[in-house]
Amino acid sequence: MKSLNQEYWQNRYKNHQTGWDLGIISTPIKEYVDHIKDKKIKILIPGAGNAHEALYLYQQGFKDLHILDIASNPLNNAKNNIPDLPEHSFIQQDFFQHSGSYDLIIEQTFFCAVEPRFRESYVKQAYSLLNENGVIAGVMFNFEQHQEGPPFSGSKEEYKELFKPYFEILIMETCYNSVTSRAKKELFIKLIKKK
């Protein structure tokens, strides 16, 4: 197993090995964002990469955005794309070392970039980062693993078992509005932190 550390991700961006990057916000997340009424919520986007989601959120009037990635290259790209966002909004750090309190975590397949042995740690860390009634919303991959990841896949059943001790599962369904290359390979999730 290769080490999926800062150097690994830095090199993926440096060598343009970013097949997961759609170049725009994914349709399922865009449609979810379009229905959020409260523009003042505090949002974390972990493993944000080039942060297309953050750019769209910013354009829609959300300003309390926090873009987290372990690699500097995508963060620099995000800074160039959203120059009016304050410097403190861009966080180069390992998700598992991050502390803070958020109302919403946008999940754009970051979970599937984490080695499966750390998935339970992801769930606990997300739980600890969310305020009361905090939400994780976004997309996770749902396909059979044919090659060594990342991305690492899994199944809806596996994900439900992982999240249900900490989160109420409001939605975990196959996306009806994925881009063509991801059709039937994505689950849309909306999970609310349990009390």
Give the total number of structural domains in the chain.
Answer: 1
* Residue 131 included in any domain: yes
Q: pTM of the predicted model, to two decimals?
A: 0.91
End-to-end CA distance of the chain: 37
* Residue 9 included in any domain: no
Please determine, for residue 48, whether its predicted confidence score (pLDDT) is greater than 60: yes
Q: Which structural domain, as residue segments, surrounds residue 93?
A: 25-193
pLDDT of residue 187: 95
* Residue 19 included in any domain: no
Of 82-96, 144-158, 166-180, where does mean pLDDT reach its minimum?
A: 144-158
Distance (Å, whole) CA 120 – CA 140: 15
pLDDT of residue 1: 42
**CB neighbourhood size of 146 (10 A):** 6
* Residue 13 included in any domain: no
Please determine, for residue 52, whether its predicted confidence score (pLDDT) is greater than 70: yes
Q: How confident is the model at residue 144 (pLDDT cuts 50, 70, 90)?
A: confident
Please determine, for residue 160, whether its predicted confidence score (pLDDT) is greater than 90: yes
CATH number of the domain encompassing residue 91: 3.40.50.150
Q: How confident is the model at residue 148 (pLDDT cuts 50, 70, 90)?
A: confident
* Residue 143 included in any domain: yes
Between residues 190 and 116, the one the model is more confident about: 190
pLDDT digits (tens, 9 = 90+) for 9-29: 777 777 776 667 677 799 999
* Residue 6 included in any domain: no
